[in-house]
C-alpha cells in the first residue's frame, strides 16, 4: 500500500524532518533540532504538531443520536454541553479498548477524534452499531493541527481572534481567512494548547502564519516524550483490546451517572472491575539512576517473580531523567513500591510513582 | 598517535603505543539523535573484536556499542555516563568511550580510513 502523506508533508520536508511511517502515513519524527530541544521548546514556548493522520469523524444527528451513542460510550452525553469535549473509549463487550478518543458535542451532532491506526476500524464498528440512520463522515478533507505550550494562546489568538475565551476541553467554530475552523482547547502534551481542524488546502498557509508568530514545528518523537511526562496513554502501548479503562487507571473518564445503570457496551465488566478491582493496573514508574526501561521490559518483585511489564519508557527531557509507565499486579501498584526492571539481562531498581511526571494546570474559568 | 580508523558499526579508533581509544562517530550520533544514556564496559574486563562493549540510548531507542578490536579495558570515560549529551556535542573528541590495551595490532588493518568511512557512511545512510 502506498504511504499516505498529510497536507503539511512538503512543509515538513522543507524543515528537514526525519520521517517515519506511522499508521500508514509518512510523519515527521523530528526536525533538525532534535527531540529534546523540540520537547523543551514546547514546554516553554509553542510547538506545532501535524496530527492530520488522526481521524476526524463527524456524526450528524439530534437527540436520538445522543441516545444511541450513550449505548456505546460510558459518558453522560445528555448532559454534555454544546461545544464541550470528553475523553472516552470505544470498547468491546469485555470492556477491551478498540480506541481512545475525544468526543465533542457540536451543533449538528458530534465530532470524534480517533487514533490514526484505529480510525478505519472504528468507523466500521460505529457504522455497524449505528446503522444507516445517521450520516457519518470520516473527513479526509480536513487537516488537524495541534499548537501546544504556554505561548500558544497568544499566538493562535492573534490569528484566530477569540480562542483565548475557550476553556480547557471546550471548542467552537471560528472564522479565519474566509473559512471555518473548528478549534478546541485541548491537546496531549500536558500543556495548555489547542487543536485546529482546517481544510487541507488552507493548512500549510495557516501553519506558516503560526510559525511567523514564533511557534515551531515539533515531531512525533517529542510528542511522545511530552505525553509520557504528562502521564497520558498512547494507544497500542498503554491501551489495547486486552486492556480495560479500569485496568488502565482511567476510571475518571467514565461518567459516574452511567455506572449505576450501565447500558453501554462493556458496562458489566467495568462495573464488576470497579467493585472488585482489576488484577493489573497501569502505574507510573521511575527507574533509579539514568537507566531507560523501554516498552516490553519485564517487571519483577524482590523474589524474582514477574509482576508486570513496561508499556512506554523513555528519557523525560523536562524531568531530566528516565520515566516509564506499565502494568503491575494490583498488590504492587501503590506509590513508592520498589520493583525491579530487567534490562539487557540485569535487574535494576525502580519505584512506582504518581502520575503525571510533569504537571501544569489547564485553563479553566476563562468565561 | 596513529591515523583515526573507523568500523562498519560506526566506531572510531586511534592507537597510541598499544592503547586504543574508541568512541562512536559523528555520523552515528546524527543517526541516533539526542543521546540520554551510556553504559560502558568494566575496567579490567576483556572485550573481543566486533563484540558488544557498551550501550547508548537516544530518546528513540537503544543501540549496542561494538568494539572494533580486542583487548583489555584500561580506562572508561565516566564524564559521558554522567552527562550523555556530551556524546552529541563532541563525539570524535572529548566524548570517547573506552581505552583498550590491544593484543593484536594487526586488527587495525581491516578498518577503514576517514575517506573510506565517509563514503561508507554516506552510502549506508541513503
What's the whole-model pTM score? 0.93
User: Which chain B residues contact residue A41 at CB under 8 A?
Assistant: none
Is the CATH number of domain B5-125 1.10.287.610?
A: no
- The total number of residues shown for chain A amounts to 367
Domains of chain A in sequence order? 9-52+140-229 (3.30.1360.120), 279-353 (2.40.30.110)
Residues B82-99, mean pLDDT to the nearest whole number: 97
SS3 category, A64:
helix
Q: What is the CB neighbour count within 10 angstroms for residue B48?
A: 13
User: Which chain B residues contact residue A31 at CB under 8 A?
Assistant: none
User: Which chain B residues contact residue A292 at CB under 8 A?
Assistant: 36-37, 57, 62
Q: Which of B53, B81, B80 is nearest to B68 (CA)?
A: B53
Does B62 touch chain A if contact means CB atoms closer than 8 Å?
yes
CA–CA min distance A127, chain B (Å): 37
SS3 category, B94:
coil
8 Å CB contact of A290 and B62: no
- Each of the 367 residues of chain A gets a pLDDT tens digit; together they read 799 999 999 999 999 999 999 999 999 999 999 999 999 999 999 999 999 999 999 999 999 999 999 999 999 999 999 999 999 999 999 999 999 999 999 999 999 999 999 999 999 999 999 999 999 999 899 999 999 999 999 999 999 999 999 999 999 999 988 889 999 999 999 999 999 999 999 999 999 999 999 999 999 999 999 999 999 999 999 999 999 999 999 999 999 999 988 999 999 999 999 999 999 999 999 999 899 999 999 999 999 999 999 999 999 999 999 999 999 999 999 999 999 999 999 999 999 999 999 987 677 766 5
Going from the C-alpha of A166 to that of each of A108, A178, A267, the distances in angstroms are 20, 21, 32
Residue at grid coordinates 472516552:
A88
CA–CA min distance B60, chain A (Å): 7
CA–CA min distance A336, chain B (Å): 24
CA–CA min distance A29, chain B (Å): 9
- The total number of residues shown for chain B amounts to 126
> Which of B37, B59, B84 comes nearest A221 by C-beta?
B59
User: Which chain B residues contact residue A225 at CB under 8 A?
Assistant: 59
Does ipTM top 0.90? Answer: no
Q: How far apart are CA A364 and CA A168, in angstroms?
A: 6
Residue pLDDT, tens place only, B33-72: 999 999 999 999 999 999 999 999 998 889 999 999 999 9
Asked whether A92 and A241 are in contact (CB, 8 A), the reply is yes
Residue pLDDT, tens place only, B102-115: 989 999 999 999 99
Amino acid at each position: 500500500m502506498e504511504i499516505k502523506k498529510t497536507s503539511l508533508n512538503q512543509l515538513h520536508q522543507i524543515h528537514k524532518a526525519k520521517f517515519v511511517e506511522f499508521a500508514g502515513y509518512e510523519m515527521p519524527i523530528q526536525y533538525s533540532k532534535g527531540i529534546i530541544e523540540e520537547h523543551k521548546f514546547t514546554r516553554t514556548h509553542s510547538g506545532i504538531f501535524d496530527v492530520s493522520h488522526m481521524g476526524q469523524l463527524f456524526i450528524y444527528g439530534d437527540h436520538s443520536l445522543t441516545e444511541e451513542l450513550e449505548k456505546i460510550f460510558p459518558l453522560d452525553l445528555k448532559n454534555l454541553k454544546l461545544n464541550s469535549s470528553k475523553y472516552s473509549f470505544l470498547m468491546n463487550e469485555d470492556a477491551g479498548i478498540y480506541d481512545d478518543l475525544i468526543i465533542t458535542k457540536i451543533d449538528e451532532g458530534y465530532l470524534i477524534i480517533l487514533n490514526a491506526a484505529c480510525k478505519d476500524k472504528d468507523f466500521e464498528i460505529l457504522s455497524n452499531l449505528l446503522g444507516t440512520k445517521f450520516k457519518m463522515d470520516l473527513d479526509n478533507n480536513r487537516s488537524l493541527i495541534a499548537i501546544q505550550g504556554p505561548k500558544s494562546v497568544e499566538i493562535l489568538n492573534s490569528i484566530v481572534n477569540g480562542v483565548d475565551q475557550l476553556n480547557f476541553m471546550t471548542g467552537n467554530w471560528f472564522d479565519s481567512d474566509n473559512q471555518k475552523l473548528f478549534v478546541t482547547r485541548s491537546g496531549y502534551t500536558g500543556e495548555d494548547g489547542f487543536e485546529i481542524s482546517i481544510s487541507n488546502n488552507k493548512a500549510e498557509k495557516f501553519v506558516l502564519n503560526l510559525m511567523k508568530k514564533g511557534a515551531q514545528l515539533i515531531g512525533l518523537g517529542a510528542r511522545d516524550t511530552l505525553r509520557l511526562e504528562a502521564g497520558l496513554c498512547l494507544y497500542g502501548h498503554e491501551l489495547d483490546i486486552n486492556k480495560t479503562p479500569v485496568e488502565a487507571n482511567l476510571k475518571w473518564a467514565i461518567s459516574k451517572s452511567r455506572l449505576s445503570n450501565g447500558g453501554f457496551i462493556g458496562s458489566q465488566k467495568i462495573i464488576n472491575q470497579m467493585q472488585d478491582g482489576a488484577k493489573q493496573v497501569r502505574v507510573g514508574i521511575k527507574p533509579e539512576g539514568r537507566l531507560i526501561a523501554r516498552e516490553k521490559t519485564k517487571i519483577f518483585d524482590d523474589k524474582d517473580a514477574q509482576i508486570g511489564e513496561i508499556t512506554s519508557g523513555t528519557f523525560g527531557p523536562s524531568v531530566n531523567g528516565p520515566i516509564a509507565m506499565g502494568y503491575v499486579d494490583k498488590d504492587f501498584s501503590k506509590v513508592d513500591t520498589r520493583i525491579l526492571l530487567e534490562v539487557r539481562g540485569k535487574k535494576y531498581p525502580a519505584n512506582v510513582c504518581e502520575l503525571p511526571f510533569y504537571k501544569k494546570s489547564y485553563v479553566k474559568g476563562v468565561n | 598517535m596513529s591515523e583515526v580508523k573507523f568500523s562498519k558499526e560506526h566506531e572510531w579508533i586511534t592507537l597510541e603505543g598499544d592503547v586504543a581509544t574508541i568512541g562512536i562517530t559523528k555520523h552515528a550520533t546524527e543517526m541516533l539523535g539526542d543521546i540520554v544514556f551510556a553504559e560502558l564496559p568494566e575496567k579490567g574486563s576483556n572485550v573481543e573484536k566486533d563484540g558488544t562493549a557498551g550501550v547508548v540510548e537516544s530518546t528513540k531507542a537503544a543501540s549496542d556499542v561494538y568494539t572494533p578490536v580486542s583487548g583489555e579495558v584500561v580506562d572508561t570515560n565516566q564524564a559521558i555516563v554522567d552527562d550523555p549529551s556530551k556524546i552529541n556535542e563532541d563525539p570524535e573528541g572529548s566524548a570517547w568511550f573506552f581505552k583498550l590495551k590491544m593484543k593484536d595490532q594487526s586488527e587495525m588493518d581491516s578498518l577503514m580510513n576517514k575517506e573510506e568511512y565517509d563514503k561508507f557512511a554516506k552510502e549506508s545512510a541513503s
